[in-house]
Chains A and B, each alone.
Chain A
Amino acid sequence: MSGRAEIARQPSTSMRAASPEADPGRDGLLTLRAVCKRFGALPVLTDISLSVARGEVVVVIGPSGSGKSTLLRCVALLEPIQRGSIAIEGTLISRGQDEPGAAVPASAVRQLRHEIGMVFQSFNLFPHLTVLENVMLAPRRVRGLSRQNAETVARTLLDQVGILDKAAEHPARLSGGQQQRAAIARALAMEPRIMLFDEVTSALDPELVGEVLRVMRALAGQGMTMLTVTHEMGFARQVADRVIFMDHGRIVEEAHPDELFTDPRQQRTRDFLARLLEREYGADDRLEPTIAGHRGRQA
């Protein structure tokens, strides 16, 4: 047992040392080192190194197919990686399959999995359970809370995201915005140390986007560490401590939002931001099919 724990912990020191982009004032909560991911022969992520400090809000932007969602899915341990490593507070949770050495022990993964909360574009609430049951299930089964305690936690969180009055309803009776807020409450109920948001407003009607962003803003305000993929540039600007621009599976540029949005260094970043602006203001109708196709594919 102790041997296993050592294997899991060993790389921590070297990894902390090797993440210069982490804010020295804060600990690296999530650390990705040279992560490579392929689907078959197709490379999706290439050499992604990234560190998210405790309490930091990092927004990932980039065109469709740039690997943003896959990046989150790798961190959430929904996808194996081929090279590199992913660690939470120095403890290895995922390691490249192609690398020599043992895989991360399943026990370590199980213990750390619920430290990472994830919210999906398509909500993915359990349709056969009520909103309250959706939020209570994992705390009861994984954290071992009693029904009573789990319900108290769930009601507090549902109140926090503003849908306590919908607790007894099934998801199908809720609007998209309410469903997404329920999904956020469900993830928070596991008391994760980091929350991953995968284009959580992309499937929503425009008038419902605001209520979800408000919840996310409040979370960021409470000091939640967040890694967020989004097309909401307003949100990125206001809330993000750092914005990462990805293209073709690589990190092209990362900077504080003020810097990245006003003075991007890379041509590819400039092109992407220009396209986004055109979409916002409808300057060029020829771009519409691209964006519609993009949305369709993601959904």
Chain B
Amino acid sequence: MNFAAIFQYAPNLVSGALVTLRITLVAAALGLVIGLGLALARLARVRLLSWIAYAYIELFRTTPPLVQIVWFYFVVPVLTGHELSSFQAAALALGLNEAAFLAEIMRAGIQGVSTTQRDAARVLGLTTFDTYRFVILPQAFRIILPPAATTLMLLVKTTALASAIGTLELMRVGQLVTTATFRPIEVLTTVALAYFLLTYPIAIGARALERSFRVGQG
């Protein structure tokens, strides 16, 4: 192993890692916001709303993210007439995909909060919005956190698929550096380590949050 040979490409790898991080952040933000909306829609009493959310969730859960990324990159411009950069296509596809998975996790979390909590909030006169904001969601969050952290960790690694449409993220940069140096083992090892460094903090953060809840509630 000769890591010195790839050392000169360190800045490229770092910039690739930053792109990976940016795709992850945009996709995670999209996923959280849309996912919450989908989860609430799924639980709505209005049938149509619930059905649309259901259809969305299953559509995204049953198709490969690689197909989704490529589809957004090549097909969306044809349909809408708007060009998407490879970064935009990847972030959008992964964000919408993440939303489907987070929606199911959030729905389970919300349903996991006892209905007696809803009763208590209602007799106190809280509005539905306040009931969700102050009573249901904070409790659901504790249920949601571990599986949500897992999907976010998966998301970081799934961004590697953006290399297929040429986004200069960590994986794609790794491929280019490999081509330039003929050092696939060193490059892949470095890339793997970089993914670890990007992913592991999510696990640590989630664990710390979980522990802080436990301390609070004795």
Q: Which residues of A contact B (CB under 8 A)?
A: 73, 76-78, 110, 113-114, 116-118, 120, 122, 124-128, 137-138, 141-142, 169-170, 172-173, 186-187, 190
Contacts and interface: CB of A to CB of B under 8 A. Distances in A.
Given A78-B119, A124-B120, A141 B126 contact: yes
Nearest to B218: A173
Contacts of B206: none
Contact of A138 (B114, B119, B125, B142): B125
Given A120-B116, A124-B117, A172-B217, 13 more contacts: A78-B122, A78-B123, A110-B127, A117-B123, A120-B120, A128-B139, A137-B126, A137-B134, A141-B126, A141-B127, A141-B134, A173-B218, A187-B123
Contacts of B4: none
Contacts of A120: 116, 119-120
B64 interface: no
Contacts of A190: 124-125
22 contacts: A78-B119, A78-B123, A110-B125, A113-B122, A114-B124, A114-B125, A120-B116, A124-B114, A124-B116, A124-B120, A125-B120, A127-B139, A128-B138, A128-B139, A128-B213, A128-B217, A137-B126, A138-B126, A141-B127, A170-B218, A173-B218, A187-B124
Contacts of A127: 139, 217
A253 to B, nearest CB: 29
A190 B124 CA distance: 7
A125 B213 CA distance: 16
Contacts of A169: 218
A105 to B, nearest CB: 16
A172 B218 contact: yes
Contact of B124 (A73, A137, A173): A137
B123 A113 contact: yes
A187 B121 CA distance: 10
A141 B213 CA distance: 24
A118 B123 contact: yes
Nearest to B129: A141
A133 B210 CA distance: 21
Which has the most chain B C-beta neighbours within 10 Å: A78, A110, A190? A78
Contacts of B218: 169-170, 172-173
B135 interface: yes
A142 B127 CA distance: 8
B212 to A, nearest CB: 12
B171 to A, nearest CB: 40
A22 to B, nearest CB: 24
B11 interface: no
A137 B120 CA distance: 12
B125 A76 contact: no
Contacts of A170: 216-218
B130 interface: yes
A11 to B, nearest CB: 23
A118 to B, nearest CB: 4
Given A128-B139, A170-B217, A170-B218, A142 B116 contact: no
A138 B218 CA distance: 24
For the complex of A and B, 6 pairs with smallest distance between CB atoms: A114-B125, A138-B124, A124-B120, A118-B123, A142-B125, A173-B218
Nearest to A170: B217
B211 to A, nearest CB: 15
Nearest to A110: B125
Contacts of A141: 126-127, 130, 134
Interface in B84-141: 114, 116-117, 119-120, 122-127, 130, 134-135, 138-139
Contacts of B130: 141-142
Interface string B178-218: 00000000000000000000000000000000000100111
B120 A128 contact: no
A150 to B, nearest CB: 13
Contact of B117 (A110, A126, A137): A126
A124 B119 contact: yes
A2 B179 CA distance: 79
A124 B139 CA distance: 13
B217 A116 contact: no
Contact of B116 (A77, A122, A128, A172): A122
A203 to B, nearest CB: 12
Which has the most chain B C-beta neighbours within 10 Å: A73, A116, A170? A170
A77 B126 contact: no
Contacts of B114: 124
Nearest to B124: A138
A104 B188 CA distance: 68
